[in-house]
Amino acid sequence: MDHSNLVAKKFFFSQCAHDMCLDHGPEWETIGEERHELNPQFFGLIKTWWFQWCCGKSMARMKVVQVMVCRKCGRTKNHVLRKFLASCLCCGYQFDNWPVRVSWI
């Protein structure tokens, strides 16, 4: 019994050598839970917000990521939902630290 072709039978389209959708437009579907990841800036040197404090500790730079998969070929990508999230290293308190606050959105 050949199990190597089970993945290829599930999807009608394929991916190119560069892991992009080949001959079709992607139809994205979210899978799994949202996850929080560190979001360092300036070549990984700045890992905290400099002027944001909570509990006497600095706030870590975080981002919220959702994994998405193409329904046609099975290609996956990490979609960033929120990029400027501040998270306390002591108590875990989080807030969105978007630099531009617009009242009409």
Q: Is residue 51 part of a domain?
A: yes
> Residue 102 domain-assigned?
no
Q: Name the strand (E) or helix (H) holding 65.
A: strand 57-70
Range of the domain at 40: 6-96
Cβ atoms within 10 Å, residue 87? 21
What pLDDT digit, counting tens, does each position of 38-66 carry? 888 777 677 787 777 788 778 888 889 99
pLDDT at position 29 over 70: yes
- Tell me, what's the pLDDT at 2? 46
Q: How many domains are contained in the chain?
A: 1
The structure tokens listed for 46 are 């700045």
Output Rg (C-alpha) for the chain, integer angstroms.
Answer: 19
92 in a domain, yes or no? yes
Per the domain annotation, does 91 fall within a domain? yes
Structure tokens at 92: 């875990």
In this structure, are residues 68 and 89 in contact, taking their beta carbons and an 8 Å threshold? Answer: no
Would 26 be classed as within a structural domain?
yes
